[in-house]
Each structure stands twice: as structure tokens, then as C-alpha cells.
A and B are shown apart, each in its own frame.
Chain A
Amino acid sequence: MSEATTLAVPEATFLDSNEMVLNMGPQHPSTHGVLRVILKLDGETVRGTECVIGYLHRGVEKIAENRTYVQFAPYVDRMDYVAAVSNALGYCHAVETTAGVEIPERAQVVRVILAELNRIASHLLWLGTHALDIGAMTPVFYCFREREEVLKIFEKYCGARLTTHAFRIGGLQYETYGGFEKDCLAFCDWFLPKVDEYEELLTTNRIWVGRTKGIGILDADECKEYGVTGPVLRAAGVEWDLRRAQPYCGYENYEFDIPTCQNGDTYDRYLVRMAEMRQSARIIRQGVEKLAPGPIKGKVSKVLKPAVGETYTSIEAPKGELGYFVVSDGSVQPYRIRVRPPSFVNLQALDRMCRGSLVADVVAIIGTIDIVLGEVDR
């Protein structure tokens, strides 16, 4: 295992008298929730970090074992609460795979449209807060303005804005409202020029480039070593997206590009997410075209009892690979549900990304990983 051991983390020592330990969080505005990071500093330089997590731990996996499959569905929205639709998609897809349920075409298309809208909303929230952390005050207002339009579509569709519980196992609960297609298309038309506006503000901005270029580098090998997925992996040059690699929900029928960059730094991750928002809008447009009348719910018995078995099913959530390992013992309650959250796994790479950088960059790096503590702690 010589190849693997060379990648082991260099040790932070505590003997050096220059080293100082600084506590950051859990109540720090730039940690996006309750994340506590203990920094080991040599002057301004970070020599090592340790994350203390669990402040938002609610025992979601234990709750799952004590609810039926249907009852547990709203809980998954509370994990990555800025991308609740993606969580619901991942969960429903996993249970449907375990139970062998087929989803009608129309339900799949609506799912894709809503999931991509949610990807845009999630990336917008990331962009706004990330820019705010670094000191660019303006983008957050624009981002929230655009995100509001997505939330309005969610609200009109299912009555909720954030924790939507939009999907049901087997398809959808609600038919789309009159004018849903028009709203989606209007949003895409209106939104794409806004992405250009953000880019005008940031992409060539000297301060932005100075604060993000070459910061928090994680190359492709390190990403794989740490199990990091999503935009962070793609920014390191790996063209890998579960929507393409292992399509689900009919993603194989959509044309879209997988944006990648080469350097794997904070700036590249920004570029990748900007491009992904455009691709999401592209997918939404295709989805609206595909939307044909039809049933929205497959044949699912009211008392859902998947056959004895276990499956691992994952989707490409805005933050990376979101997996559900479902073990069924043939009863109405899952025997075990394991959530493989992208935020939790990606956050682990924080230490590697921070070492050698400055304290001020830690804030930028936490922002660029795009974590949601509800999902880290579950």
C-alpha cells in the first residue's frame, strides 16, 4: 500500500512554540451554520484544522427506522434544507429502486424540472453567501432576488418554499398548476442574463480573483482519495456527474454539458457552479418541452412493503453524490436507512485544503466546499 500511504496527511505538531490554537465557531457567520473549526496556526498560516461537528445532529437515520417509508419522506427535506427537492428525489428514487416501482414519464420530467430549479436555487444561495464571506456585498442581494423566483414556483406547485416534500414514492402528489410550463420558461429566459451579470461582477474582479485563485487547491487524485464529489471534483478536471455516469429519472434523455476546470481551486469551483446553473436552465427548457399529459403516480400500494433486500442508490445533488442505502426486511418500516451525504464527506477535505493558507482564506474555503450543516450532522 505504498501508493496510498504516501498520501497520508502530514502531521501537525504541538511542540513548536510558534503554534497557536484558535477556535472558530460554532457561532460564526461564515461557517454557514453551526460548524466549529479548531485552527492550528503559525502566525497567519494555517498548519492544521480540526472540525467539530454534530451540533445539528437529530438522529435522522434512527428516526427512519421508526417510521414507515412514506412517513420518513418529509424528514429528508430537513437534511440539505437548501436543496430539499434533491433530497426528496434521492430518497424517493432509492425507495422506488428497493421496491421495484416504475415511475410514469410525466412524473419523471416534473421531477427533473424541479430538481434542476432546486440546483439553481442551491447554487445561488452558495454564490451569495460565498461572495459575502469574501467581502463582496452586492451579489447576495441579486442572488436572493433570483432565488426568490424559484421559491415562488415551488410555492405555487406544492405550497411550500423550502422544505417542499414535493415528491411521493411512486411519482408526484400534485399535478402541476396551470401556467407551470410558462413560469419555468419565463424563469429561464429571465435568469440566464442574470448569470452574466454575476459574472460581470465577479469573474474579472481583481479582488475576487485575488481572494479565490490558487486558494484551497484540491487536485483530482486528492478528491478521489477524500471521496469528494460534485462541483469540487469537476473543478479539479474530472468530468464526472452521476446524471451522466449512472443516469436516473430519465436524465439520459437530456442534452447537457458537464462543466469542468483544471486547477481545482476556489476560483475554478466558482466557474464550474456558474456554468452548472446555465446547464440546469438548459435542462429545464428541455424538460418543459418533454412535458406531455399522462399519469403522475405509478402503481404503489398504500401500504408500501418493499421485498426483503438492500440497495444503494445515489443521485447528483447540487453538492455532490447523495446516496441512500436502504435495507428492507419486508415490513412497512425500513430496517435501516443510511444517508451518504455529500456535505459530510466533502467537509472532510477541509483540512487538506486549508493547510498552508492564511486564516482569512479558511472562510473562503469553507464557503467553496458548499456545505449545509443540516446534512453534515443529520
Chain B
Amino acid sequence: MADENKPAGEVPALNGTPGTQSPEATTSGTGGSTPAAESAPKPAAASPEVSASKPAAESAEKPAAKPAAKPPPKKKAPAVMEVSPWEGPLVDALKERFGAQVTEFLSYRDQDFLVAELSAAIPIIEYLKLEQDFDYLVDITAVDYPKREKRFEVVWILYSFDKNLRVRIKAHAADGESPATAVNAHLTADWLEREVFDMFGIAFEGHPNMKRILLPDEWQGHPLRKEYSIIQQDQDWVRENLQIESA
């Protein structure tokens, strides 16, 4: 039962297949200035001529990862999230308190979220808990955008019982970067952060027990990274522990 705390800085080796790195490098990151615009790595670049010569342009443009079953786009959907600004007393309070650390206050489909610096996420969560009654940490998760300069988007979802409000906090994290743990503010963060670590390889700094939770401890690779194929698995682990050769 060795509950030894792993040194937080020790980020486990990333075992993703490095093959997918090269095409990413070609797409120049548009920088962190407009995360909303960036949030949509459109599979089919919606250029006007696509609709004219559908099949040829489609197959040429698309990376092999997406299945061929996808039909060509019939009408052009907007490539960015159609967000509206989020305003209100809570936003004013947060602006006053955190200033430039929060880059955006946005709302989409009546759901409010803010985009903050990675280092500011935990202070914001603590502030919201202690002074704004956001006493329930609903979920912590992440989304992988391999083409971005900072590939991960870490998402915290908070809820206030008193106000009946839900707020999302988003922050960008580069591969190997460690967000601070939320365990000291919300105990529920313990398993949630372990799952994010397990699935994405984002190690949370200061977490008391940063190890895998769903996959075996010795498993190599983080399945929810985009380069991890759906049929990929840790062959060595399977062979060693299950004594089977899988395809």
C-alpha cells in the first residue's frame, strides 16, 4: 500500500506514437490570442471550392485518421464556436480580482465559461468556493487539440447550490505542463484528476496520489490523446499479464 507521493514534477514518459507529429508542425499555430477561433480544428477546411468538386478535394485534403464514411459538407457550418460575451456581477467580481489572468468571459447556448491562465485556475476555483459559494466541483476533464501550441484544454466545471449556477473554467496546458491540483479546495478532485492523468497524461502538481485509476499502473500510453488509435493497446502489458497475443 505504498502511498508514496510521487514527485509532482516527474511527468511520465509520453508514449504516444510520434508519427503524427510531423503534419501538426506544418499547421502554424495561430497563437493563444483567439482560443475560441482555434477551438475547432475543422476536419474539412471549408474553402469555397470544396463544394464544387467534392470527392476529389475531400480525399486529398483529409488526413487518413478520419473514416471515409463522412459525407462531404452540404452547407457551410461556421467553423468557430458562436459565443456571446458573458456578463454579470460575477464576471465583474472576477475581473476585478483576477484582471488579465482571465482572458475571456464567454457564453455558449446559455452556458457560461471563462478562459484563464493555467496558473490562475486554482486561485479562481478557491475564490469561487470561498467567496461566491461555488461549493460543488462537478467535474474535471480535458480535451486534446494536438495541433495547438498548447495542446490540452483542461476544463473544470463548478456549481453553486445557493445560486443554482454552473460555471466552466478552461485553461490551456502544453504537453508536460502540470496544472496545480484542486484537491485542497475540493476533495472530489482526487479521482477526477487521476482520471485525467490516466487518459491524457496531464500530471497535476501537488496531488497526493498521482497515479493511474482506470488502467493498470504499468500501462504505457494515454488513450484519450488523439494520436492514440482506437485499436491501440499496450501489447507488452497484455502479453505479460494476460498471456495472450492480440491482433
Contacts and interface: CB of A to CB of B under 8 A. Distances in A.
Interface string B62-92: 0000110111011001111110000000000
B18 to A, nearest CB: 20
B109 A53 contact: no
B121 to A, nearest CB: 14
A358 to B, nearest CB: 20
A4 B186 CA distance: 7
A224 B66 CA distance: 41
Contact of A338 (B41, B70, B80, B141): B141
B214 A377 contact: yes
B117 to A, nearest CB: 19
B50 interface: no
Contacts of B238: none
The size bracket of the interface on A is 35 or more
A245 B163 CA distance: 10
Contacts of A97: 109
A311 interface: yes
Contacts of B177: none
A225 B195 CA distance: 18
Contact of B187 (A8, A66, A332, A338): A8
B contacts with A: majority SS: loop
A362 B1 CA distance: 19
A95 to B, nearest CB: 12
B201 to A, nearest CB: 14
Interface residues of B, number: 59
B39 A308 contact: yes
Given A53-B213, A308-B40, A308-B79, A332 B185 contact: no
Contacts of A378: 214
B126 to A, nearest CB: 6
A227 B137 contact: yes
B225 to A, nearest CB: 10
Interface of A: 1, 3-5, 7-9, 14, 21, 38, 40, 50, 53-54, 57, 59, 61-63, 65-66, 68, 97-98, 100, 224-228, 238, 240, 245-246, 303, 305, 307-312, 314, 321, 323, 325, 327, 329-333, 335-336, 338, 340, 344-345, 348, 377-378
16 contacts: A1-B185, A4-B130, A4-B184, A5-B184, A8-B187, A21-B1, A57-B214, A224-B136, A245-B164, A308-B81, A310-B39, A310-B81, A323-B138, A325-B155, A335-B143, A340-B138
Given A59-B223, A330-B78, 11 more contacts: A4-B185, A53-B214, A62-B228, A303-B71, A303-B74, A307-B78, A307-B81, A331-B44, A338-B141, A340-B138, A340-B139
Question: Lowest 6 A-B CB distances belong to which pairs?
Answer: A227-B188, A54-B214, A308-B40, A338-B141, A340-B139, A309-B81
